[in-house]
Amino acid sequence: MARKKGVKALILNWRVLLLILFLIGSIASISTRGLTYGIDIGGGVALVAEPEKSVSKDTLNGIITSLQNRLNTFGVKDITIEAQHDPETGRSLIVVKIANVTLDEAKQIKDLIESQGVLYLEFNGVVFATGTDVTVHSSNYGLNLRKCSTCWYVGFDLSGRAKERFKEIAAGKAGWPVDIYLDPPVNSLLVVSPRVYNEMQDFLGEPEPGTGTPKPLVQRISEAFNITVVEYSNQTAEDIVENATALGKDKIILADVPEELYSEVKESVLSRDLELRVSHYTPQQGEDLKDFVKRTLNLYGPYVLSKDTATDLLKGNTETGFQLTGIAPTKEEALQEARKIYSVLRSGSLTVKLHVVNEEYISPTLGASFKKQAAIAGIGALIAVLLIVYFHYRRWKIAIPVASTSLFEVIIILGIAALIRWNLDLPSIAGIIAAIGTGVDQQVVITDELLGGTAGGVTRRMSTLRRMARAFFVIFASATTTIVAMSFLLVYFVGTLKGFAVTTILGVLIGVLITRPAYAEIAKYLLSLE
Amino acid sequence: MGTKKQKTNKKPSGKVLETKRKRLLFLAKMEPRKMILYPLVVFLLAALILAFHPPEKGIDLKGGVVITVYHVSASPSELKNYVKEKTGINVRAEEFKDPVTGLSGIRLYAPAGSDPDKLSDVIKSKYKDADITPRVVDPTFGKIAQRQGIKAILYAFLGMAVVVFLFFRDPVPSGTIIFSAFSDMVIALAMMGVLGIELTTATIAALLMLIGYTVDSNILLTTRLLRRKEDTVEDAYLSAVSTGFTMSTTTLGALIILWLVSTSEVIDNITIVLIFGLLADFMNTWIFNAGVLRWYIASPFKFTIKLRGGK
């Protein structure tokens, strides 16, 4: 009977009660809200981008809003964008994390982030609007089923000035191509293979009869962006570089030409110490030549001026806005195309170009195997603790409480992580391991103080209370040290190690405030039974 | 539930503790001078190793391209040659296998500036089922990460030092704790260099974890010796070192299991660094720091020790 009362008193002890409450709360929190994982565990892509030149905090925030817009309209979920501004160096970093995407989507996202240059709308060799002139209303895109089942459209509006210019050049020219460029290679020499050159003569849209003939793409980009296209007919690298310098270009682009030419041109530029950038594009397997040209030029489209818009322009009736239209092979592709162009138009252009400096992709299936592994490793470590503690004390009465307290600690840390929607990544898990490790250490300290005077022939000179006080002095001292050390990380360092600091601090706090006092009570009770 | 069954084992448990203390008695018998000297020699050796053979920087600090390919039916050298032939990029190929999930794959290390898309496209075109995981770090980002890592360790260390000093308010014991933590890190770093473990953000996290563990054991020792309630310093030391021994072996055991079970390179590297760090910590706390404290307690230069907290 006395023993039963003891159990009751133990459970009603506020320290134990607190542990039980937290435990129940954590289990509830995990089961209702679920755990969220970082990219390195859950799968997804993590990209770190750096602006090409240093920017102010305001500009950075502007970039982030635009990026957010662009990625949202691209149609991916679970995006986090975080900015890091280092006041010391004036450098800024933008961290973009997107969960659950395929490798192809990850590549597209990277392109989307990097092609944040300037948006140009060009018609027949004239740039009539740039990013700031374009407004796209929310969800103004989709399939145009009246026209055909795989026809898509994107509606947009232009600023007054751009509207005037557009009216001047495009009125009545239904079916003519409207080109949209994001960061085209302005002022460059483009050397292409004959087949690409031929392809570039096309890109004419579907002009309505009687409206005349639009200029070919080669001429359009030459007039609009000063891009000179040259057909490759075995010119030497020297010739090409000579040509580019004579024309005052800042960039040479080699497309679909032999790889050796690329290295030769690069060498030539290097040996002459010229301020010329050289880049090389080759068609990917199965890539359509048209798509290849578009990729080289960062061209979206060409999209065709719809008949309605053309007549509206003619009549000066531009209140209803404009539409870009196109046809894709399938309904899905049509929607995808519409969504892509919609997001590009909508977010406008950014003041600074971004460059992706760190890229990590984890496929969701691999993420699942990481999770399984982490769980097995955790359980294995817990069993190891149980057995080793048993080996040291030869009492399950100590081993089981020590191991289960550690388990409770993990559950509570995870519960709080679920509550605050902390994304568990590998550093966070390392932090949990650290917290549990020090937790076990401190439980050993408590146990040894409790067992104190009984072994080794040392006289029992201190009361249990005083021994506990000493144990808790050690625990508080080390907890304070760890928390202070880790807080520095949190405040001064907003990097990948943030998760580590958060879970360590969380674990240590939970340990000091909840699990350690409860363990002391439980151990005291169990040992007093002897 | 096991409480009833173990009732008969009550006496053996006392014996276990006693034999443990007996086994550790040799430490208590050691001369303080030697206790200080040996760990210092180890520290200097580690510092020398570190100076001549520092750990390599991993790609997240140095920059570069790593492509991990799962579900691929080629051998590493096959894949390497294929990639070289198709792209002209000279890669280093390494195979790995996960004993738990049975997952195996090949890691390709390419120099910074290589085009990861090209590499994955080339691999994908021949091995259709391959699951490709690229990781690309620009050297400039590597430099930023490096600086942040150094800053992190520095600040964490300084924070630790300040708090330890405030707790003990005595330059000798606090200084020794701080030095122990430093020596742990140096030894762990030297071991990383010797074992070829790269310095990455993850291993930096491990070094930070070491600070936490070091402080734990050192504060325990210092408190037990300076707020001694046992009859002699030897008794106090013996009881503290037996606790410390239990602590370290438990943590080490858990870490070794973690290392055996996990195949994630990150967790493996963290645990290895911690295992060596903890071994170093055992020496630095229970031999070096104990030696200093024993000498200090017996020496005439001792400060009047006023400890705060506790009653």
A401 and A285 both lie in a single domain: no
Residue B87 or residue A76, greater confidence: B87
Question: Is residue A503 located within the same domain as residue A471?
Answer: yes
Of A324, A348, A372, the domain-final residue = A348
Partner-chain contact B254 A495, CB within 8 Å: no
Percent of chain A with pLDDT over 90: 12
pLDDT for residue B186: 94
Mean pLDDT (whole number) for A349-377: 77
In B, which residues are within 8 Å of A107 by CB distance? 117
A445 lies in which domain range? 2-40+363-528
Q: pLDDT digit string (tens) for B250-287? A: 989 988 888 888 777 777 888 899 999 999 999 999 99
**Distance (Å, whole) CA A448 – CA B94:** 47
Question: Does A32 fall in a domain?
Answer: yes
**What pTM, to 2 d.p., does this model score?**
0.70
Residues with pLDDT less than 70, chain B: 1-17, 98-103, 229-231, 301-311
Q: How far apart are CA A341 and CA B139, in angstroms?
A: 33
Are A254 and A285 part of one and the same domain? yes
CB-side neighbour CA atoms (13 Å) of A166 = 33
Query: Per the domain annotation, does A49 fall within a domain?
Result: no
Say yes or no: A339 and A368 in one domain: no
Same domain, yes or no: A187 and A279: yes
Between residues B24 and A252, the one the model is more confident about: A252
Each residue of A262-290: pLDDT tens digit?
A: 878 877 877 776 777 787 888 877 778 88
Tell me whether residues B156 and A458 touch, CB distance under 8 A. no
User: Same domain for A130 and A232?
Assistant: yes
**Tokens 């790995």 appear where?**
B96
Position B62 scores a pLDDT of: 84
- Subunit contact B216:A259, Cβ cutoff 8 A: no
Q: Which CATH number does the domain housing residue A471 bear?
A: 1.20.1640.10
Mean pLDDT of A29-34: 90
Does residue A226 fall inside a structural domain? yes
Classify residue A517: in a domain, yes or no. Answer: yes
One domain for residues A318 and A381: no
The tens digit of pLDDT for each residue in A89-133 reads 667 888 888 887 877 778 778 877 876 557 788 888 888 888 777
The answer, yes or no, to whether the previous bond of A302 is cis (omega within 30 of 0) is yes
Any domain includes A299:
yes
DSSP state of B11: H
The residue count for chain B: 311
Q: Is residue A344 one of the residues assigned to a domain?
A: yes
The answer to whether B201 contacts chain A (CB < 8 Å) is yes
* Domain's final residue, options A320, A348, A376: A348
Chain CA centroid to CA A115, Å:
15
Q: What share of chain B is helix, strand, coil (3-state, %, to 5)?
A: 70, 10, 20
Nearest to A47 by CA among A11, A14, A96, A85: A96
CA distance A217 to A208: 18
Cα–Cα distances (Å) from A27 to A64, A179, A411, A413, in that order, read 36, 56, 7, 10
Q: Total domain count for chain A? A: 2
pLDDT value of residue A455: 44
Please report the domains of chain B, with CATH numbers, ordered by start residue: 13-58+141-298 (1.20.1640.10), 64-137 (3.30.70.260)
Per-residue CA distances from B168 to B154, B159, B223 (Å): 21, 15, 9
pLDDT at residue B307 in the model: 47
Same domain, A160 and A16: no
Q: How far is CA A74 from CA A94, A98, A139, A511, in A?
A: 18, 12, 12, 44
Size of interface A-B (CB pairs under 8 A): 302
Dist. CA A283–CA A266, nearest whole Å: 20
The complex's ipTM works out to 0.80
pLDDT tens, residue by residue, A188-202: 899 998 888 888 887
What mean pLDDT value characterizes chain A? 80
- pLDDT digit string (tens) for A419-473? 988 888 878 888 888 888 888 988 998 888 888 654 444 445 567 777 788 888 8
Confidence check: pLDDT of A2 > 70:
no
Residues 118-157 of B with CB under 8 A from A: 120-121, 125, 131-138, 140-141, 144-145, 148-149, 151-152, 155-157
Which tens digit of pLDDT belongs to each residue from A140-187? 788 877 777 888 888 878 888 888 888 888 777 777 888 888 778 888
Q: Are residues A342 and A377 in the same domain?
A: no
CB burial of residue B300 (10 Å; 0-12, 13-18, 19+): exposed
pLDDT at residue B231, as a whole number: 67
Candidate from B3, B151, B235 with C-beta closest to A458: B235
Distance of alpha carbon A357 from alpha carbon B130, whole angstroms: 25
A171 and A316 inside one domain: yes
**A495 vs B135: CB contact, 8 Å cut-off?**
no
pLDDT at B308: 44
Structure confidence at residue B184 (pLDDT) = 93
Pairing of strands A36-37, A423-424: parallel
**What is the number of H-type helices and E-type strands within chain A?**
19, 18
| Cβ–Cβ below 8 Å for B138 and A103 | no
Q: Is the pLDDT of residue A302 over 80?
A: no
Q: Do B141 and A50 touch (CB under 8 A)?
A: yes
Put simply, the answer to whether B159 touches A433 (Cβ < 8 Å) is no
What pLDDT does B279 receive?
Answer: 92
CB contact (8 A) between residue B135 and residue A500: no
Q: Which of A305, A325, A348 is the endpoint of a domain?
A: A348
Partner A contacted by B116 (CB < 8 A): yes
| Domain membership flag for residue A325 | yes
- The b-or-e profile of A84-110 (16+ CB within 10 A means b, else e) is bbeeeeebbbbbbbbbbbebebbbbbb
Q: Which residue of A has its CA nearest to B266?
A: A426
Q: Classify residue A98: in a domain, yes or no.
A: no
Q: How far apart are CA B47 and CA B91, in angstroms?
A: 33
Q: What is the pLDDT of residues A379-424, one digit of tens each?
A: 888 999 999 999 888 888 889 999 999 999 999 999 999 998 888 8
More confident residue, A303 or A87: A303
Tell which of B208, B274, B305, B306 to mutate to test the A interface (max A CBs under 10 Å).
B208
Do A369 and A277 fall into the same domain? no
Q: Is B101 on the interface with A (CB under 8 A)?
A: yes
Regarding whether A377 and A343 lie in a shared domain, the answer is: no
3-state SS record for A339-400:
HHHHHHHHHCCCCCCEEEEEEEEECHHHHHHHHHHHHHHHHHHHHHHHHHHHHHHCCHHHHH
